[in-house]
Structure 1
Amino acid sequence: MASSIKNLSDYSSKNVKDIKDSTFAIVVSEWNEEVTEALYEGAMETLISHGADKKNIVRKNVPGSFELSLAAQWMAQEEAIDAVICIGCVVQGETKHFDFICDAVAHGITNVSLKYNKPVIFGVLTPNTQKQALDRAGGKHGNKGDEAAITAIKMLGF
């Protein structure tokens, strides 16, 4: 459902497992920090509110969204990590750069998840404008970070 008619912070509580002993990695792109920090905060708050222990949440920063896939792979290969949440934001520009980055990141994150048989979550915004990004990073459409965290939790309960 399009986020213009759904709040990203609203979710079903079905299949939410006990995560007090689960370990999460959150990989955060430094590019567009205003947005990615808000997404990170949303993911953290959701994990904590569902019982995750702060000491079981590892944060790693990368320069941009393109680097999320490799960092996710480094984290997913760690046996102690149960799920990886990738946080980023790529705003549409005037060139095809947007298309190449978004496609590479989506495929990269999917491939890491399949390679390591672990949830590796795509918490990357791909809006047309900075305003749309802010609307989805704690603004009027909720927070995609919340959605990414609850997706990780639910996938662990699969």
Structure 2
Amino acid sequence: MATQLKSLSDFSHTTIPSASPYRFAIVTAQWNADITGALYQGAYELLVKQGASPENIISVTVPGSFELTSGADMILNNKKVDAVICLGCVIKGDTPHFEYICSAVAHGITNVGLKYNIPAIFGVLTTNNQEQALERAGGKHGNKGEEAAATAILMADLQRSLC
């Protein structure tokens, strides 16, 4: 596998604009908290590094990844933000629960973004085991929270450029 030894959180191929003109929300699942907490830290730190004011970052938690869609919907219905970042982690088990949750969350996040015409970013790890999740939450494959934050900035900037 080509990504086995590579950090996937490499932004050298793109320029990430300043986040200073934008407001963001980060919705983080509490389930698998050690992993989602690392994703949150990566996202938050990248937003601030790129110029977002901490006062322009709304942070909320929801019980699990399934609730990310509802959390994002509540934020977009009640707050003025330029993008919402949804962070979670679903680890495959022995039942089809994994497939149902992953599918519902992916569709739900897409739909909530389309409903409000505001970028809703899918920052949910869908891994086979805990080790893979840790590798993507600040381990050898980078931090998918950072990638989600970079995507949020790029999409907020695209949205503004089209207005």
TM-score by length of 2: 0.91
CA-CA distance at 1:21 after TM superposition: 2.6
Q: Which runs of 5+ in 2 are unaligned?
A: 159-163
What percentage of aligned pairs have identical amino acids?
56
Aligned residues: 158
Residues 82-131 of structure 1, C-alpha deviation per residue, up to 9 Å, x if partnerless?
11000000000000000000000000000001111111000000000000
The whole-number CA distance in structure 1 between the counterparts of 2:155 and 2:15 is 8
The whole-number CA distance in structure 2 between the counterparts of 1:31 and 1:46 is 23
The whole-number CA distance in structure 1 between the counterparts of 2:37 and 2:79 is 27
The correspondence of residues 1-158 of structure 1 with structure 2, limited to 5 A, is 3-4=3-4, 6-12=6-12, 14=14, 16-158=16-158
CA-CA distance at 1:20 after TM superposition: 1.0
CA-CA distance at 1:7 after TM superposition: 1.9
Residues 124-143 of structure 1, C-alpha deviation per residue, up to 9 Å, x if partnerless?
00000000000000001000
Distance change (3 Å), C-alpha of 1:75 and 1:4: farther
CA-CA distance at 1:3 after TM superposition: 4.6
SS in 1 for 2:34: helix
Q: Which runs of 5+ in 1 are unaligned?
A: none
Is contact 2:68-2:109 (8 Å) kept? yes
Is contact 2:6-2:140 (8 Å) kept? no
Which AA in structure 1 matches 2:72? A
